[in-house]
Structure 1
Amino acid sequence: PYQCSHCDKTFLQNRYLISHMKHTHQPLECSQCDKVFSQYSKFKCHMRYHSREKSHECSQCDATFSKSSDLKVHMRIHTGEQPYQCSLCDKTFSRNGCLIIHMMRHTGEKPYQCSQCDKAFSRSSILNKHLKTHSGVKP
């Protein structure tokens, strides 16, 4: 259930909570894109994207991030932490997305299909490089 942070009302769906907030309490509405938020923390995080505010700084280098979760992932560069492990070959990765791409090697999955020929690829970046061969541009 979704609970209003201003009163004790609860809702089964977030959209009903947002509607309640908009009509009952002062809405947390983005002035740049009209998106409405039910929680101040999410509204504040959203506003950082518009302002490009990067308040989360790495203590090891000059990198800055708008979200603390992005800083946490970045810190793995410095710590060497690789919490995502392949269940088939025990290789480890710092990001879940890298593990997912790696798993495609085991499964043979190639979801990125070339629209010009029958070739398929495991990563969109490889497909984009391949597409240049059809246009005559050297990759």
Structure 2
Amino acid sequence: ERPYDCGQYGKSFRDSCDLTVQQRRHTGERPYLCPDCGKCFSQISHLIIHEHIHTGERPYLCPVCGKSFSSRSHLTVHERIHSGERTNPCPECGKSFSSSSNLIVH
């Protein structure tokens, strides 16, 4: 059951907090402020990940090579180096890349 409806796009959500996140996408609201640099975020989890920049904390370790990362998503992209997974194909030539940033550079 998804009782929380977003009136703008007709999406429904199970949790009210998911609806709030969706609504912030529409409004651009970013209520979570980094006390170190003033950057604002729409979700507290994004602020917590961002704060690793200031603390130098890198809690996500690659199980293959031991390299550490400040966010889980950066580790996931890195792990593709070891697995050879390439999930970002170029629409022009079909060549695939391990990250969207590598595709953009291409």
Scaled by the length of structure 2, the TM-score of the pair is 0.79
The answer to whether 1:70 aligns with 2:46 is yes
Greater relative CO, 1 or 2 (CA 8 Å, sep 6+) = 2
Letter in 2 for 1:81: E
Correspondences of 1:1-139 after superposition (within 5 Å): 17-18=1-2, 21=3, 28-114=4-90, 115-116=92-93, 119-130=95-106
Give aligned pairs, total. Answer: 105
1: CA distance, partners of 2:21 / 2:13: 11
Larger Rg: 1
Percent of pairs with identical residues? 37
Change (3 A) 1:29 1:110: closer
Change (3 A) 1:109 1:57: same
Superposed CA RMSD in Å reads: 2.2
1: CA distance, partners of 2:8 / 2:51: 32
Scaled by the length of structure 1, the TM-score of the pair is 0.63
Change (3 A) 1:67 1:113: closer
Give the ranges of 4+ consecutive aligned residues of structure 1 lying more than 4 Å apart after TM superposition: none
Could you list the runs of 5+ residues in structure 2 that have no partner in the other structure? none
Change (3 A) 1:36 1:124: closer
CA displacement at 1:46 relative to structure 2: 2.0
